[in-house]
Amino acid sequence: MAPGSRSSQRVPRAALTASSSSAAPIGREPWPVVPAGVVPVDRAEQHGPASRVGRGHCFQELFQGILERLDAGEIVIGDGGFVIALEKRGYVKAGPWTPEAAVEHPEAVRQLHREFLRAGSDVLQTFTFYASKDKLENRGNYVAEKISGQTVNEAACDIAKEVAKEGDALVGGGVSQTPSYLSGKDEAEVKAIFRQQLDVFAKKNVDFLIAEYFEHVEEAAWAVETLKESGKPVAATLCIGPEGDLHGVPPGECAVQLVKAGASIIGVNCHFDPETCLRTVKLMKEGLEAAKLKAHLMSQPLAFHTPDCGKQGFIDLPEFPFALEPRILTRWDVQKYAREAYNLGIRYIGGCCGFEPYHIRAIAEELATERGFLPPASEKHGSWGNNLSMHTKPWVRARARKEYWENLLPASGRPYCPSMSKPDNWGVTKGAAELMQQKEATTEQQLKELFKKQMFKSNIVA
Amino acid sequence: MAPGSRSSQRVPRAALTASSSSAAPIGREPWPVVPAGVVPVDRAEQHGPASRVGRGHCFQELFQGILERLDAGEIVIGDGGFVIALEKRGYVKAGPWTPEAAVEHPEAVRQLHREFLRAGSDVLQTFTFYASKDKLENRGNYVAEKISGQTVNEAACDIAKEVAKEGDALVGGGVSQTPSYLSGKDEAEVKAIFRQQLDVFAKKNVDFLIAEYFEHVEEAAWAVETLKESGKPVAATLCIGPEGDLHGVPPGECAVQLVKAGASIIGVNCHFDPETCLRTVKLMKEGLEAAKLKAHLMSQPLAFHTPDCGKQGFIDLPEFPFALEPRILTRWDVQKYAREAYNLGIRYIGGCCGFEPYHIRAIAEELATERGFLPPASEKHGSWGNNLSMHTKPWVRARARKEYWENLLPASGRPYCPSMSKPDNWGVTKGAAELMQQKEATTEQQLKELFKKQMFKSNIVA
Amino acid sequence: MAPGSRSSQRVPRAALTASSSSAAPIGREPWPVVPAGVVPVDRAEQHGPASRVGRGHCFQELFQGILERLDAGEIVIGDGGFVIALEKRGYVKAGPWTPEAAVEHPEAVRQLHREFLRAGSDVLQTFTFYASKDKLENRGNYVAEKISGQTVNEAACDIAKEVAKEGDALVGGGVSQTPSYLSGKDEAEVKAIFRQQLDVFAKKNVDFLIAEYFEHVEEAAWAVETLKESGKPVAATLCIGPEGDLHGVPPGECAVQLVKAGASIIGVNCHFDPETCLRTVKLMKEGLEAAKLKAHLMSQPLAFHTPDCGKQGFIDLPEFPFALEPRILTRWDVQKYAREAYNLGIRYIGGCCGFEPYHIRAIAEELATERGFLPPASEKHGSWGNNLSMHTKPWVRARARKEYWENLLPASGRPYCPSMSKPDNWGVTKGAAELMQQKEATTEQQLKELFKKQMFKSNIVA
Amino acid sequence: MAPGSRSSQRVPRAALTASSSSAAPIGREPWPVVPAGVVPVDRAEQHGPASRVGRGHCFQELFQGILERLDAGEIVIGDGGFVIALEKRGYVKAGPWTPEAAVEHPEAVRQLHREFLRAGSDVLQTFTFYASKDKLENRGNYVAEKISGQTVNEAACDIAKEVAKEGDALVGGGVSQTPSYLSGKDEAEVKAIFRQQLDVFAKKNVDFLIAEYFEHVEEAAWAVETLKESGKPVAATLCIGPEGDLHGVPPGECAVQLVKAGASIIGVNCHFDPETCLRTVKLMKEGLEAAKLKAHLMSQPLAFHTPDCGKQGFIDLPEFPFALEPRILTRWDVQKYAREAYNLGIRYIGGCCGFEPYHIRAIAEELATERGFLPPASEKHGSWGNNLSMHTKPWVRARARKEYWENLLPASGRPYCPSMSKPDNWGVTKGAAELMQQKEATTEQQLKELFKKQMFKSNIVA
């Protein structure tokens, strides 16, 4: 990178001054929320680098990329789930889950990026999930007729880079699994799909690349190989559990294949809750150790409890995608996850579907000791609920402490509902006719056949 | 109103053309999402009224206020809960719950208003909850030292009015209960607090006024009397359940007092789930009928299931405010609520804490037949999940139908947690020493005494 | 009563000697299990009164009837539920629930009486539930063709009296509601049915009479009036909840009618859990006080948790009668019930369906302080689990204490099941054609119509 | 065996006559309840063999032992759990769980045997669980001071043999694990303990021997070797789950060791629910197949749901032993178990702790087609609830069918309780000092240390 390039403007990664903690209120950790002077983020650019929502660094320093950070032993906090969050905000269509909102409603995408940045994310992923050409025109989702894949990918890069500059974040350009692979297209065809997105990432000069949300390690390896053509660092995550990928390749072996394909960071994302994901990453780690390979570890689990999931993850749960609410993680669940991920040696710690900004903040707060600072959004959040000491009601003030929240077993308020569900478990995977994709909308006749075939029934009222 | 005034620019409230439904996809109701051509809301102002995110009206018409709409039998959809939503986004501090973000992070407040507007809200409430002077400097929440109450209230009005213009929404200026009342201040002192906010609402010319979130009908009546000084319509909601206000005044009697104080719209908000709120509004309705009084009915419940609440509502639940996740309503729960509210004769139907934009959209979708149109955000949401017909997996496509979602009993994925909690139930109310408020932060000693007194234990791990 | 009559042989009701507690083991209360020398009950008769399983009385004393005991302020412990217990043991048919086992398998009935006696029951009810002529030949239950009602009632009296002599128990002759009433027969006809059973009770000289399990106070009052013809004390219980009888008569008014009909002891039995029953008895008590009437109070609730029941009680629960297991009370639940019943002023404290001998023992153990002694079966049960100190495993020994069991919230091990059910709630009561009874078996056609009508569905897997 | 010996009097094992099913009521299977004429079991002996509660055999036949039956492919139904059932009836002390009731209260033990016989048990196990000398005087359970081990074992044999004659049942003499093994005694010492019980079984000439409830396969193998000295067939069950014995020996290897020690029938009993036990037996079966060994398979699981158990089974659950109620299996759960056990190739199918007579009847009813007859107690039980067609209430009659009960998900009525528990999991096993046994009662000091050490807390109210 040339001197004076954008990256050199990044705020430095210096040690924190201890003095900042002198007047910490009750329960507040002795780490600064940075920057101390609250600056509305939408005015940040007028102020230049010094006022950026960043990490409290006090002097200029060379910008560091994802691998430099991880190699130095730093914790890198990822961001949360865009499609689920933006669906709830009204900008993404559940079903196709495609990211055309980057073009249609850039302000909404920008705002979500900002919130994750404030919450502590060190990486902003471009909102390019399922932005491959074949997905934008799958099963009646006629996005591609109005907006080209290139337009979507470019808009997403622009937004992410714009917001990243407001802080000290890296931009990761992301690709994910394709309908083409599922429909049996060959390696060359599938790689060509990835390459279309990669061309945009290269042009927009993102900081690194992420191949995420792959159910089959074979396709993920193809993605990694394609992304490596750029020369940038590549991270790769599968959406698998301890049983391995949908073709039955165990996690340890998956990890080996991804590293051999060129990934520097490997792990899992989506499909399972933190506990299940960490068990899976542990198996990956052991696989790498057995193969004497090295890579950084990464986890971006769901913010939903899924102890009852089968191999296919939360997609199989009867509650997916419109009744997952009772499963949403609390911030305290996330703190537990962050600690356990850290203890397992994972240093790229983020979330996926269901992770809202406050979940990401919980990662940053749990690991504030290790990181030495709190994220900007902690200006509005006392650790372990200590701001409740300002509540009007005395019994709520009595909850302003760690032991309370750490030990609470929250009720659902749903006594007519069960605790666990039987997953759908159709057991079809790549190769099954039912998984062949089509550009046209699913017909009424096709739907009727599916309705008839629906096997899950355990918590449907007859 | 003068010709050319802002209100005359509002889009008209015309009948819908039937032709718009000719090519409805499977499961899609025959009502237009309006406007048909999707226009990014942040560019709306450049386009003028015709492109506003509105209700699909086809010609100019005089602007109608809240009472004209309700008197005409229209359904008015309220908005959702700001403090809880913005807390999760990183802009509001739980505990004090004050709205200084309107000054500090206007872009975040603006975006949430937009999302509610897109979701179908006919009213945007100014983000002035707890923006009374005495609350901005209560118990160590030293907001007022940095930002005056007037500044907060003005900023909130400006944002709400700006976004309202992007559609066809009314702006309601809101006041809520005060620490002064709880600390035993007299009527004149408490009314003076309300009047400070009212001065701003008058200056900013909001469309109508809302007195909301009152636990004591006496204070609510004082608020209504104060707000009526403006000459604008006043709506008033208590945060009470079927047992009545915290002094034991039953709902029917509360309703009578509010109407006699001058409220044109009365009902409940916050503290309880839809089912409990509707039971309360029913009692209010019966009280008015018995007293031969008339008023429009309004409900803005929590988006949390609270079958286990006592008189004090969800504040008493051990999960409040940081572990309420398993109680969050699904969109289907909200559709059921909207239908039942409508059947009960309620025409101002909205939400409070926990209501996210997709919950408001669910109200608008459930009542689309009665209203004749769908909200803008339904461009991204097939009714009853019909967009799932575009999902990659066949068993998820099989969920693209009403019977599936209507009958699902969602699991929590939390088998170690109970279904219901024992509320804290300290039983203190106005008059109790423990409820005297103070400007200074709660001291460590005060906290320790509260910790010792904490009675709730039923689902805390020892 | 004549000198030398059976009752004069009863063991006396003397004060307890304090010395018996000198060597109490850890956690054991200082009350004697009586008699100290364990005597197998089946050899008791050879030993004469001194060795009977009784209350540790040391010298002869006049026998005391039910009213003398209650008038003296004594606690009288009832027995548990015969039809449910004997159904599980293989001797009673669920559906008709008739007691012909008294003739067919006397040893099984005798053994259950003995177990309740050992557990602390002061009253043994004759196993004559539903032993009215019209019930023995209802809906295809052709018992009466083989065994006459008189034979059943006589056998039941003989067994109860035989076992009562093994201890110091009273025999209560019981009648319950009739198909005749439900089918619209008049007062004279219904009373004639009761009188058939009463003739046997008089001939067998039971100690007092019980009219129990009535859903309609009108029929219960007829029963009381009939039983009073004998001159013996009469107790009367309805199987109702706080909403009152099935015709809507509130509990307080029901109590008044029963006392006016001649009952000396009134209360509730069956259909609801302890908590609900106690709320109902409280209403009855208040009704009597308002009417300035006096009666002893009695409660014999279910040993099943039924927070979700409607007016019709557990009959309406989808789990009735073959899937009630997860609702069974623990012994600790029963101890809580016994204490609360006592605190409410109830002195005749027993159980109904679901109460097994160990549940009755729990009543006796909870009230051992007030009664001054423990029941014989406590020789095998350390209070609050203290015998666990003899367990092999150290962590089970750690459970040998009150605080452990008192505070445990037991799990169901059924994560796919809900906590509560929607009751069936057909809402039919006396007068509805569907409740007309018939001697003949329900036909297949009749069943098919019922299957179609079945409304409950909430926790049936489709 | 000599002609005219007891066994020759056994009723024959003939094919059933089809005619008996001609007048089957609705829903009743076409298998006879045998004997058709109901004969009170306590009068059975006066009638001689022909009237015994048996299997409907119509002519004399040679008695068949356990192996002849299994070798012929017959299903052998075991009995249920004595210590838990008799604890609830008031005759066994939880903690020590020793069977001195066989001497103290023979009528109670006899009655339970009879109930299991009526329910369909083909085997009556002598009530000699934990009747080893060292267990009768362990940790303050001073039974041996009053009643010798020999007396207990002899009484238990006498009762079992007496009841077995009332039907066509075999008597199995049972031994179980010893405190001596746990305390580190050597093979000779432990075998000497077993031999004391075996001497009684030999003298009383039981039909075969059972070594059951062993946590360590090493001790179980010692038991089998000892029992084989008698020349009678030996069955052996471990109380282990899929993780293997407490020393970590996997189930497959355990099975091999037991067969090599001389067992003809092997499997698991106690500690886990049916589902877990069947998974374990499957592993045992696979172990035998891999080792090319043959044995009959046997399962006697708990009648408690234990999905949350660890390696130590239900002993570790916080609910053990006094709050297991919500986990009790319904009869329908047992029918499912019986079918799955049968499908897995298990032919000795019974139950352990929690199995009441009606649970055993459920096995017999589920397998009535395969066995050709119903057990005597089915005279009081219509299969799949069909006797409910005789119920008074129409909505209960609507439950008289298989689909209803098969698909019901029963609620607990305990909304404040969780679905699953965290087991205690102290992780101590043979060799740990805490497992050393002592004759003396646990001292208060020892208890206090244990109370302090108690780790389980997850569903204890603080």
Model confidence pLDDT, tens digit, residues B278-287: 999 999 999 9
Residue D137: per-residue pLDDT: 85
Does C265 contact chain D (CB < 8 Å)?
no
Q: Name which of D420, D422, D462 is nearest B460 (Cβ-Cβ).
A: D462
Shortest CA distance to A453 belongs to which of D108, B394, C151, B431?
Answer: B394
Residue whose entry in the numeric block shows the structure tokens 């003949």? C440
Strands of the D123-125 sheet, one edge to the other: D76-77, D348-349, D296-300, D265-269, D234-238, D208-214, D170-175, D123-125
Distance CA C441, CA C450 (A): 14
Is the per-residue pLDDT at B119 higher than 60?
yes
Does any CB of chain D come closer than 8 Å to the CB of residue B23? no
DSSP-derived 3-state class of residue B311: coil
By CA distance, what is A142's nearest residue in B? B390
Q: In this complex, do D421 and B416 lie within 8 Å of one another by their Cβ atoms? A: yes
CB contact under 8 A, B415 and C415: yes
Rounded mean pLDDT of D242-265? 97
CB spacing of B420 vs D421 below 8 angstroms: no
Q: Chains meeting C at 3+ CB pairs closer than 8 A?
A: A, B, D
What values do phi and psi take at C168, rounded to 5?
Answer: -125, 45
Kindly give the interhelix angle for A357-366 and A106-119, rounded to the nearest 10 degrees.
20
Question: ipTM of this predicted complex?
Answer: 0.89
Where would I find the beta strands (DSSP E) of C239-302?
265-269, 296-300
| C194, C80 contact by CB (below 8 A) | no
Contact A419 B434 (CB under 8 A): no
**Measured in whole angstroms, how far is the alpha carbon of residue D25 from the centre of its chain?**
32
The answer to whether the CB atoms of D459 and B416 lie below 8 A apart is yes
Q: Phi and psi (nearest 5°) for C269? A: -140, 160
Beta-carbon contacts below 8 Å between A and C: 37
CA–CA gap between residue A219 and residue A194 (Å, rounded):
10
Could you tell me which of B129, B116, B221, B224 has the C-alpha nearest to residue B170? Answer: B116
A237 class by beta-carbon count within 10 Å (0-12 exposed, 13-18 middle, 19+ buried): buried
Cross-chain residue pair D420–A415, CB shorter than 8 Å: no
DSSP bridge pairs for C76: C348
pLDDT at B1 over 50: no
> How close is the nearest chain A Cα to the Cα of C411, in Å?
12
Q: C32 φ, ψ to 5°?
A: -70, 140
Give chain B's radius of gyration (CA, Å).
Answer: 22
In this prediction, residue A123 carries a pLDDT of 98
Rounded mean pLDDT of D445-449? 86
For chain C, give the mean pLDDT. 86
Of C118, C308, C454, the CB nearest to D413: C308
**Residue range C55-71, pLDDT digits in tens:** 444 333 446 999 999 99
Q: pLDDT (tens digit, 9 = 90+) per residue, C66-125?
A: 999 999 999 999 999 999 999 999 999 999 999 999 999 999 999 999 999 999 999 999
* pLDDT mean over D230-246: 97
CB contact under 8 A, B409 and C420: no
C333 CA to chain B: closest CA distance, Å? Answer: 15
Residue A381's pLDDT is 96
Q: Which helix (H) or strand (E) holds B77?
A: strand B76-77
CB contact under 8 A, C420 and B419: yes
Residue A48 has pLDDT above 70, yes or no: no
Q: Is the pLDDT of residue B29 over 60?
A: no
Q: Shortest Cα distance from C44 to chain D (angstroms)?
A: 11
- Does the beta-carbon distance from A422 to C415 stay under 8 Å? no
What average pLDDT does the segment A294-303 reach?
98
Alpha helices in B17-100 (DSSP H): 44-47, 66-71, 82-89
C-D contacts at Cβ under 8 angstroms: 401
D459 lies within 8 A of chain B by CB? yes
Q: Which uninterrupted H or E stretch holds A298? A: strand A296-300
Question: Is the CB of A239 inside 8 Å of chain B's CB atoms?
Answer: no
Distance between CA D133 and CA D148 in Å, rounded?
8
Determine which helix (DSSP H) or strand (DSSP E) holds B300, and give its type and residue range.
strand B296-300
Residues in chain A: 462
- Partner chains of D (3+ C-beta pairs under 8 Å): A, B, C
Closest A-chain CA to D415:
A415
From residue A238, how far is each of A280, A300, A339, B7 by CA, in Å? 10, 10, 22, 54
Backbone angles phi, psi at B324, to 5 degrees: -85, -5
Distance CA(A197)–CA(A206), nearest Å, equals: 12
**Nearest Cα residue to B246 out of B457, B455, B435:** B435
Q: In what order do the strands lie in the sheet with B76-77?
A: B76-77, B348-349, B296-300, B265-269, B234-238, B208-214, B170-175, B123-125
Give residue A118's pLDDT: 98
Answer whether D134 touches C (CB < 8 Å). Answer: no
Does residue B58 or residue B392 have the better pLDDT?
B392
Q: How many CB pairs under 8 A join A and D?
A: 14
Determine, for residues B413 and A327 on separate chains, whether the beta-carbon distance falls below 8 Å: yes
Q: Is A205 exposed, middle or buried (0-12, 13-18, 19+ CB in 10 A)?
A: middle
What element of type H or E holds A265? strand A265-269
Separation of alpha carbons B336 and B356, rounded Å? 16
Cα end-to-end span (Å), chain C: 64
Instruction: State the best of B417, B422, B456 to mutate against chain D, taking most chain D CBs within 10 Å.
Output: B417
Q: What SS3 class is residue A135?
A: coil
Instruction: Using an 8 Å CB-CB cutoff, list chain C residues near A415.
Output: 308, 418-420
- CA distance to partner chain C, nearest, from residue D154 (Å): 17
Give the phi and the psi of residue D55 in degrees, each rounded to 5.
Answer: -115, 25
CB D173 within 8 A of CB C383: no
Whether residue A124 contacts residue A174, with contact meaning beta carbons closer than 8 Å, is answered with no
The Cα B227–Cα D7 span in angstroms is: 97
Which stretch, A33-37, C284-288, D398-402, has highest mean pLDDT? C284-288
A309, amino acid identity: C
CB proximity under 8 Å: C 270-299 to D: 273
Q: Do D418 and A415 touch (CB under 8 A)?
A: no
Helices (H), B13-78: 44-47, 66-71
Pick from B186, B268, B179: nearest CA to B222: B186
Per-residue pLDDT, averaged over C128-132, amounts to 94
Distance (Å) from the alpha carbon of A409 to chain D's nearest alpha carbon = 9
Which strand (E) or helix (H) includes residue D159?
A: helix D149-164
Q: How far apart are CA D340 and CA D334, in angstroms?
A: 10
Cβ distance C107 to D106 less than 8 Å, yes or no, reads no
Highest mean pLDDT among A11-15, D101-105, D383-387: D101-105
Report the residue from D419, D458, D459 with minimal CB separation from A419.
Answer: D419
φ and ψ at D370, to 5 degrees? -70, -35
Q: Count of residues for chain B?
A: 462
Amino acid in position C385: G
Residues in D touching C434 (Cβ below 8 Å)? 394
Three-state DSSP at D461 gives strand
User: C270 among the known binding-site residues?
Assistant: yes
As a whole number, mean pLDDT of residues B146-175 equals 96
Helix (H, G, I), strand (E, B) or coil at B183: coil
Contacts of B146 (CB under 8 A, 6+ apart): B100
At B428, is the pLDDT very low, low, confident or very high (cuts 50, 70, 90)? Answer: confident
Q: Establish if C458 touches chain B: CB-CB under 8 angstroms.
A: yes
A43 has pLDDT over 90: no
D97: β partners? none
Would an 8 Å CB–CB cutoff place D327 in contact with chain C?
A: yes
Count other C-beta atoms under 10 Å from residue D33's C-beta.
Answer: 20
Query: Which range is least confidently modeled, A113-122, A436-445, D305-314?
Result: A436-445
What single-letter DSSP state applies at residue C6?
G
Where are the strands (E) in B152-264, listed by range?
Answer: 170-175, 208-214, 234-238
Nearest Cα residue in chain A from B43? A105
Strand order through the sheet with C296-300: C76-77, C348-349, C296-300, C265-269, C234-238, C208-214, C170-175, C123-125
State the Cα–Cα distance between residues C357 and C355, nearest whole angstrom. Answer: 7
What ranges in D240-352 are assigned the alpha helix state H? Answer: 251-261, 274-290, 331-343
Chains with 3 or more CB pairs under 8 A to chain B: A, C, D
The pLDDT assigned to B378 comes to: 97
The pTM assigned to this predicted structure is 0.89
Q: Quote the CA–CA distance of B429 and B417 in Å, as a whole number.
A: 30
Question: Three-state DSSP class for A37?
Answer: coil
Ligand-binding site membership of D353 (annotated): yes
Q: Assign D426 a pLDDT band (cuts: 50, 70, 90).
A: confident
**DSSP tag of A252:** H
Say if CB B154 and CB B165 are below 8 A apart: no
Residues in A 396-455 with any Cβ partner in D closer than 8 A: 409, 411, 415, 418-420
**Dihedral sign, Cα of residue C101, residue C105, residue C108, residue C113:** positive
On whether the D66-383 domain is CATH 3.40.50.300, my answer is no
CB-nearest partner of B139 from A182, A390, A414 = A390
- Distance of alpha carbon D333 from alpha carbon D445, whole angstroms: 43
E strands, A6-49, are none
Structure-block tokens of residue D375: 């057990």
What would you measure as the largest C-alpha separation in chain D, in angstroms?
A: 69
Mind listing the pLDDT tens digit for each residue in C452-461?
A: 777 545 555 5
| Model confidence pLDDT, tens digit, residues D140-171 | 888 888 899 999 999 999 999 999 999 989 99
Amino acid code (one letter) for A379: E
Q: Residue D433 has what pLDDT?
A: 79
